[in-house]
Chain A
Amino acid sequence: MKLKHLTTSILAIGLLFMISCKSKPKDSDIQASVTTAISSVPGVTADVKDGVVTLSGTVNSEEEKTAAENAAKTVKDVKSVSNNISVAPPPPPPAAPVAITADDSLKTAVNDVIKDFPGVKVDVKDGVLTVTGEEKAARWKTLKMALDALHPKKVDASGLKVK
């Protein structure tokens, strides 16, 4: 009688244990399901602990962040979602192109500049100033400053001899 009682008890406990096991879904299973659910949003990873999903990673917009959270919430057995996804700042707008002075204006201005530099010749073509001749280093520096201030595309002095 006692033995029968004990067997019943063990069976009952075993059954309870099985039920309790079944009622508690494994985090790893949830994680697999969540990972699949959020795969449409790249850059996001999920961690699961006791059914609570923590999303992390970086996305490009608030919409993607919300989409990942909503996708995770649809997964069975997920209790709650902690959304730690950060949104990357938008890339800076492309820099405005540098304004290059037109050749006609450059030619006039260059002529004014080089009057004081008899040993130097400056050709203007497509915004590029090509400097030839020879000049002392200090004087060339002064000339270079003046030429740069005209906003050319380039000052090519590879043909200049600096004394």
Chain B
Amino acid sequence: MALQEKYKELIDAAKASGTTNLQVAEQDGVLHINGIAPSGEVKDQLWNIYGKIDPNFLTGDVVMDIQVATAVEGAKLKVVTESSNLNIRKGPGTDQPIVGKAAHGEIVTLISKMNEQWWLIRTDGGAEGYSYAQYLKPV
């Protein structure tokens, strides 16, 4: 319960922002927060609050997985790599051959989600394959 107090601002913000399927549970000294945010902005906002309470996320007392509700099939995604191109692979895994690349900042289309980590995407240039979801943000 102490962790829920420490991260009260974060939990309250998640509730207030319309995050659905919100699950907040403390287990073995770690607060697990899961939910589906209505937009990428809300996800960013929640991570910023988390980073404010626990600078640089170094305490290790929270595991937070916030998915974004707008990341549905057909949705437009922006490539949010640090600066490099995003690899598009034949299959879901970094051991899979690269079949194409999407530029940093490019907008691509979500075809389907293999799982939470690997999404099948298509670029406007026609390249199609799997990319790591962490670098794709719904727009």
Interface residues of A (CB under 8 A from B): 95-98, 108-109, 111-113, 115, 137-142, 144-146, 148-158, 160, 162
Do A149 and B30 touch across chains, with their CB atoms under 8 A apart? Answer: no
Query: Shortest beta-carbon distance, A116 to chain B, in Å?
Result: 8
Complex Cα–Cα for A154 and B59 (A): 10
Do A95 and B25 touch across chains, with their CB atoms under 8 A apart? Answer: yes
Contact flag A157-B58 (CB < 8 Å), given A148-B63, A151-B65, A152-B63: yes
Do B65 and A141 touch across chains, with their CB atoms under 8 A apart? Answer: no
Complex Cα–Cα for A144 and B62 (A): 10
In the bound complex, residues from chain B placing their C-beta under 8 Å from that of A145 are 47, 134
In the bound complex, residues from chain B placing their C-beta under 8 Å from that of A139 are 82
Do A141 and B25 touch across chains, with their CB atoms under 8 A apart? Answer: no
Question: Of A98, A141, A142, A150, which is within 8 A of B32 by CB?
Answer: A98
Interface residues of B (CB under 8 A from A): 23, 25, 27-30, 32, 47, 51, 56-58, 60, 62-65, 82, 93-94, 116-117, 132-134
Complex Cα–Cα for A111 and B117 (A): 12
List 19 A-B pairs, Cβ < 8 Å.
A96-B25, A98-B25, A109-B117, A112-B132, A113-B132, A137-B56, A139-B82, A144-B57, A146-B117, A146-B134, A149-B134, A151-B32, A151-B63, A153-B30, A154-B28, A154-B30, A155-B60, A157-B56, A157-B60
Complex Cα–Cα for A96 and B47 (A): 24
Question: Of A141, A149, A158, which is within 8 A of B116 by CB?
Answer: A149
Do B47 and A141 touch across chains, with their CB atoms under 8 A apart? Answer: yes
Q: Whose C-beta in chain B lies nearest to the C-beta of A95? A: B25
Complex Cα–Cα for A144 and B65 (A): 10
Complex Cα–Cα for A144 and B117 (A): 14
Contact flag A156-B60 (CB < 8 Å), given A97-B27, A139-B82, A149-B117: yes
In the bound complex, residues from chain A placing their C-beta under 8 Å from that of B60 are 154-158
Question: Of B29, B56, B94, which is within 8 A of A140 by CB?
Answer: B56
In the bound complex, residues from chain A placing their C-beta under 8 Å from that of B32 are 98, 151
Complex Cα–Cα for A112 and B85 (A): 16
Do B28 and A115 touch across chains, with their CB atoms under 8 A apart? Answer: no
Query: Shortest beta-carbon distance, A119 to chain B, in Å?
Result: 13
Question: Of B28, B65, B132, which is within 8 A of A148 by CB?
Answer: B65
Complex Cα–Cα for A142 and B58 (A): 14
Do A112 and B94 touch across chains, with their CB atoms under 8 A apart? Answer: yes
Complex Cα–Cα for A36 and B62 (A): 52
In the bound complex, residues from chain B placing their C-beta under 8 Å from that of A148 are 62-65
Complex Cα–Cα for A101 and B9 (A): 27
Contact flag A150-B117 (CB < 8 Å), given A112-B132, A157-B60, A158-B58: yes
